[in-house]
Amino acid sequence: METRRNPVILNWLTILSIFSAAIYFSLQLVNYSNIRARLQAGTSVEGVPIGGLTQQEARDRLNQIYSRPVELYFQDAIIHIDPADISFRADLDSIFAVIETFRSDTSFWFGFWAYLWNQRPGAVDVEIVIEYDRRQLEGVLDEINAVYAIQPGQARGNAATINFEAGAPGLNIDKASSIQVIDLALRQPSNRRAHLTLAQGEVVAPTQVTIGDFVQDYISQLGFQGVLSMMIINLETGEELPLQADIAVSGMELMTVPMAITAMRTSGPTIAPDLQLALENSVQRNSVEHANAVLTQLGGGDPALGAALVTQTMQQLGLQSTFMAGFYGQDGPAPEIQTPANGRIDINTGPDAWRQTTAREITWLMANLDLCANEKGGTLRLVYPQAFTPAACQQLIDLFRLDRIGALIEAGVPPQFPIAHRHGLEISTYGDVAIVEAPSGSYALGIFVWRPEALDWNIHSTMVSDISRAVYGFYNE
* CATH of residue 343: 3.40.710.10
Q: What pLDDT, on a 0 to 100 scale, did the predictor assign at position 230?
A: 95
End-of-domain residue from the set 101, 127, 153: 127
- Terminal Cα-to-Cα distance of the chain (whole angstroms): 129
**106-113: Cβ within 8 A, 24+ apart:** 108/36, 111/32, 111/36, 112/28, 112/29, 112/32
The residue-averaged pLDDT of 123-149 equals 89
Q: For the chain, what percent of residues have pLDDT higher than 90?
A: 55
Whether 433 maps to a domain, the answer reads yes
End-of-domain residue from the set 127, 146, 176: 127
432 and 252 Cβ atoms separated by less than 8 Å: no
| Residue 123: domain span | 14-67+89-127
> Residue 5 — pLDDT band, cuts 50, 70, 90?
low
**Alpha helices, DSSP H, located in 67-186:** 92-104, 108-116, 134-148, 175-186
Q: What pLDDT, on a 0 to 100 scale, did the predictor assign at position 316?
A: 96
In terms of domains, do 399 and 284 share one?
Answer: yes
Looking at the predicted structure, is the pLDDT value of residue 470 above 80?
Answer: yes
Q: What pLDDT, on a 0 to 100 scale, did the predictor assign at position 162?
A: 58
In terms of domains, do 212 and 122 share one?
Answer: no
> Residue 30 — pLDDT band, cuts 50, 70, 90?
low
- Whole-angstrom CA distances from 126 to 103, 121, 184, 260 are 13, 15, 15, 89
End-of-domain residue from the set 106, 127, 148: 127
> Residue 93 — pLDDT band, cuts 50, 70, 90?
confident
Whether 174 maps to a domain, the answer reads no
Whether 170 maps to a domain, the answer reads no
pTM > 0.75: no
- Could you give phi then psi for residue 193, rounded to 5 degrees? -130, 150
Looking at the predicted structure, is the pLDDT value of residue 49 above 70?
Answer: yes
> Residue 435 — pLDDT band, cuts 50, 70, 90?
very high
In terms of domains, do 244 and 110 share one?
Answer: no
Work out the number of other CB atoms within 10 angstroms of the CB of residue 393. 26
Q: How far is residue 350's CA from residue 329's CA, in Å, rounded to a whole number? A: 18
Q: What pLDDT, on a 0 to 100 scale, did the predictor assign at position 477?
A: 65
Q: What pLDDT, on a 0 to 100 scale, did the predictor assign at position 417?
A: 86
In terms of domains, do 461 and 367 share one?
Answer: yes
In terms of domains, do 116 and 215 share one?
Answer: no
pLDDT tens digits, 290-331 = 999 999 999 999 999 999 999 999 999 999 999 999 999 998
> Residue 476 — pLDDT band, cuts 50, 70, 90?
confident
Q: For the chain, what percent of residues have pLDDT higher than 70?
A: 84
Beta pairing, strands 70-74 & 89-90: unpaired
What percent of the residues of the chain are helix, what percent strand, and what percent coil, each to the nearest 5? 45, 15, 35
Q: What pLDDT, on a 0 to 100 scale, did the predictor assign at position 1?
A: 45
Looking at the predicted structure, is the pLDDT value of residue 45 above 90?
Answer: no
Q: Fill in the DSSP letter of residue 321.
A: S
Whether 383 maps to a domain, the answer reads yes
In terms of domains, do 226 and 112 share one?
Answer: no
In terms of domains, do 461 and 362 share one?
Answer: yes
Q: What pLDDT, on a 0 to 100 scale, did the predictor assign at position 411?
A: 95
In terms of domains, do 118 and 252 share one?
Answer: no
Whether 224 maps to a domain, the answer reads yes
Residue 258, CB half-sphere, CA atoms under 13 Å: how many? 32
Whether 270 maps to a domain, the answer reads yes
Looking at the predicted structure, is the pLDDT value of residue 13 above 80?
Answer: no
Q: Fill in the DSSP letter of residue 293.
A: H
Range ranked top by mean pLDDT from 9-13, 203-207, 371-375, 471-475: 371-375
Quick check: bond before 269 cis, omega within 30? yes
Q: How far is residue 35's CA from residue 217's CA, in Å, rounded to a whole number? A: 83
Whether 184 maps to a domain, the answer reads no
Provide the angle, in degrees to the nearest 10, between the axes of the packed helices 303-316 and 288-298: 80
In terms of domains, do 122 and 215 share one?
Answer: no
Count of the separate structural domains present in the chain: 2
In terms of domains, do 242 and 368 share one?
Answer: yes
- Could you give phi then psi for residue 356, rounded to 5 degrees? -135, 155
344 and 338 Cβ atoms separated by less than 8 Å: no
Q: Which of 449, 444, 443 is nearest to 464 (CA)?
A: 449
Q: How far is residue 355's CA from residue 342's CA, in Å, rounded to a whole number? A: 12
369 and 435 Cβ atoms separated by less than 8 Å: yes
Whether 237 maps to a domain, the answer reads yes
User: At residue 408, what is the residue type?
Assistant: L
Looking at the predicted structure, is the pLDDT value of residue 47 above 60?
Answer: yes
